[in-house]
Amino acid sequence: MRNLILFGPPGAGKGTQSAFLVEHYNLVHLSTGDIFRANIKGQTELGTLAQSYMNQGQLVPDDVTIRMLESEVDKHPEAAGFIFDGFPRTTAQAAALDAFLEGKGQTIAAMLALEVPEDELKTRLLARAETSGRPDDADPAVIQKRIDVYNAETAPVADHYRAAGKYQGIDGVGSIADITARLTNAIGA
| CA atoms of 73 and 100, how far apart (whole Å) | 10
Rounded to 5 degrees, φ, ψ at 106 are: -115, 170
Q: Does 93 bind ligand ADP (CB under 6 A)?
A: yes
Task: Please identify, using beta-carbon distances, which residue of 86 and 180 lies nearer to ligand ADP.
Answer: 86
Rounded to 5 degrees, φ, ψ at 116 are: -140, 130
Q: Does 116 bind ligand ADP (CB under 6 A)?
A: no
Among 30, 86, 167, 172, binds ligand ADP (CB under 6 A): 86
Q: Does 161 bind ligand ADP (CB under 6 A)?
A: no
- The residue at minimum Cβ distance from ligand ADP is 33
By CB under 6 A, the count of residues binding ligand ADP is 19
DSSP 72-139: HHHT-TT-S-EEEES---SHHHHHHHHHHHHTTT----EEEEEE--HHHHHHHHHHHHHHH--HHHH-
| CA atoms of 146 and 59, how far apart (whole Å) | 8
Q: Under a CB-based contact definition with an 8 Å cutoff, are residues 59 and 68 in contact?
A: no
How near is the Cβ of 185 to ligand ADP at its closest, in Å?
23
How near is the Cβ of 163 to ligand ADP at its closest, in Å?
20
How near is the Cβ of 150 to ligand ADP at its closest, in Å?
8
Scan residues 16-35 and list those touching ligand ADP (CB under 6 A): 32-33
| CA atoms of 185 and 189, how far apart (whole Å) | 8
Q: Does 87 bind ligand ADP (CB under 6 A)?
A: yes
Pairing mode of beta strands 167-171, 28-31: unpaired
Among 10, 13, 157, 179, binds ligand ADP (CB under 6 A): 10
Identify which range of 22-30, 83-91, 101-109, 111-119 contacts ligand ADP by CB under 6 A: 83-91
| Residue ranges in contact with ligand ADP by CB under 6 A | 10-11, 14, 32-33, 36, 53-54, 57-60, 65, 86-87, 89, 93, 136, 146
